[in-house]
Chains A and B, each alone.
Chain A
Amino acid sequence: NAGVTQTPKFQVLKTGQSMTLQCAQDMNHNSMYWYRQDPGMGLRLIYYSASEGTTDKGEVPNGYNVSRLNKREFSLRLESAAPSQTSVYFCASSEAKGRNQPQHFGDGTRLSIL
């Protein structure tokens, strides 16, 4: 049972480069999320997709774009990477029925911007 799979696990970029972080879930969940985790800051929501075909901004969306490719996949794109985007990025998914179902997380992508 894979759950939520994120690729790549590690990446180093130079300032100004672009990259797409991939996320896929096999639990038939409707909702998917992208977070970043920085030391001392906890997790902060970047973007979320409540259902296939919809995306919405979270707390810290600047510098990022997302695509809900289908029900399984939700990607996060950095168009022009900046050192401030050095972080650990987590993808999560949840059922849409009812309010505030538990979220299931991938193991993260560790991204360094030089």
Chain B
Amino acid sequence: SQQGEEDPQALSIQEGENATMNCSYKTSINNLQWYRQNSGRGLVHLILIRSNEREKHSGRLRVTLDTSKKSSSLLITASRAADTASYFCATDDRQTGANNLFFGTGTRLTVIP
């Protein structure tokens, strides 16, 4: 079964606006990762946040993690048309110990020029 669930399933915004997508997961984790997938391509790693971190920034990306609520959010500021893609959160399972990730169903972001 999948570990993460993203919300919303789809999001459409104007260029320059901010985009926020959320992820909820089920079990204890070591860290949470966000990936982007352009249409017809493989996933690209964006950012990793560890379970003892609450917020992390990378360029226009801001990720938060609330382990008490088992949730994370990805904020893309000043969006661009090139940000149009699907975004996935992925978590490990602290109990299994292997480097396996469980992916959510993704949020499809459309940025309108």
The answer, yes or no, to whether B45 is at the interface (CB within 8 Å) is: yes
Contacts of B100 in A (CB 8 A): 33, 45, 48, 58
Contacts of A53 in B (CB 8 A): none
> Interface residue count for A (Cβ, 8 Å)?
29
CB<8 Å pairs between A and B, sample of 22 = A4-B42, A31-B99, A35-B103, A40-B105, A42-B2, A43-B88, A43-B103, A44-B2, A44-B103, A48-B100, A90-B42, A92-B43, A99-B30, A99-B92, A99-B97, A100-B92, A100-B101, A104-B45, A105-B43, A106-B42, A107-B42, A108-B41
Minimum distance in angstroms from A95 CB to a CB of chain B: 9
Q: In the complex, how many residue pairs between chain A and chain B have their CB atoms under 8 Å apart?
A: 66
The answer, yes or no, to whether A17 is at the interface (CB within 8 Å) is: no
A108 to B41, CA, bound (A): 7
B contact residues vs A (CB 8 Å cutoff) = 1-2, 4, 30-31, 33, 40-45, 48, 88, 92, 97-106
